[in-house]
């Protein structure tokens, strides 16, 4: 698990082996079972999680107790409440494990130290945040304006590798539609001989 994370960091950030060695003491690993809650609403998110194996999700819960999924994170994806992580604000999200997982996590100290060691890491982190902003903007636009079918087709295209690992009610929650609407969309697409 730690080797997978090390390879990801070195391959994607431009950090050298020696620079990474200076960060190793700031890297932690965790094996977590399905259902494990890693972050609760109103806690400060002081960890960013990197998924080596399995899957996590972040979500909010409305006054009626209904989940609204914000993000799925499978292998080689990061997940955190970034507002809470970077600004030390109480989290508005929950993060939990939806498939048994092997996780590596870091604290802000890892990022600050890596940025001091390497300008390449600064560029990597800036680009990662920019991509996250772009993805969230696209997601907001889809939630507000796209049809249920368009949302589902985009989800399949963007998250093809995890589509079959998720229960339909979680996909519906992520798309902001009811499970019944998602079933109708899937039936209509099947009628058109659509194969994801």
The residues of the chain scoring below 50 in pLDDT are none
Distance between CA atoms of 60 and 67, rounded to whole angstroms? 6
The predicted pLDDT at position 196 comes to 65
Whether the Cβ atoms of residue 62 and residue 68 lie closer than 8 Å to each other: yes
The predicted pLDDT at position 45 comes to 97
Domain residue ranges in the chain: 2-128, 146-196
Place of tokens 């979680």: 170
Q: State whether residue 70 is helix, strand or coil.
A: strand
What are the φ and ψ backbone dihedral angles of 175, each rounded to 5 degrees? -80, -10
From residue 107, give the alpha-carbon distance in Å to each of 23, 30, 160, 185: 11, 14, 30, 41
Give domain 2-128's CATH superfamily.
Jelly Rolls (2.60.120.10)
The predicted pLDDT at position 80 comes to 97
The predicted pLDDT at position 70 comes to 96
């Amino acid at each position: 698990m730690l080797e997978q994370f090390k390879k990801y960091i070195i391959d994607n950030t431009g950090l050298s082996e020696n620079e990474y060695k200076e960060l190793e003491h700031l890297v932690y690993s965790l094996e977590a079972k399905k259902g494990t809650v890693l972050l609760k609403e109103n806690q400060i998110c002081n960890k960013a999680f990197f998924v080596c194996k399995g899957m996590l999700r972040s979500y909010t819960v409305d006054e009626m107790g209904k989940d609204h999924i914000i993000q799925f994170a499978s292998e080689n994806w990061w997940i955190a409440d970034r507002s809470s992580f970077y600004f030390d604000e109480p989290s508005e999200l929950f993060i939990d494990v939806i498939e048994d997982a092997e996780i590596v996590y870091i604290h802000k100290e890892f990022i600050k130290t890596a940025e001091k060691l390497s300008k390449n890491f600064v560029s990597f982190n800036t680009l990662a945040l920019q991509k996250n902003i772009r993805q969230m903007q696209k997601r907001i636009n889809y939630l507000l304006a796209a049809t249920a079918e368009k949302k589902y087709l985009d989800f399949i295209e963007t998250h093809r590798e995890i589509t079959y690992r998720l229960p339909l009610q979680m996909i519906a929650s992520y798309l902001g539609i009811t499970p019944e609407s998602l079933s109708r969309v899937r039936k209509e697409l099947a009628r058109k001989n659509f194969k994801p």
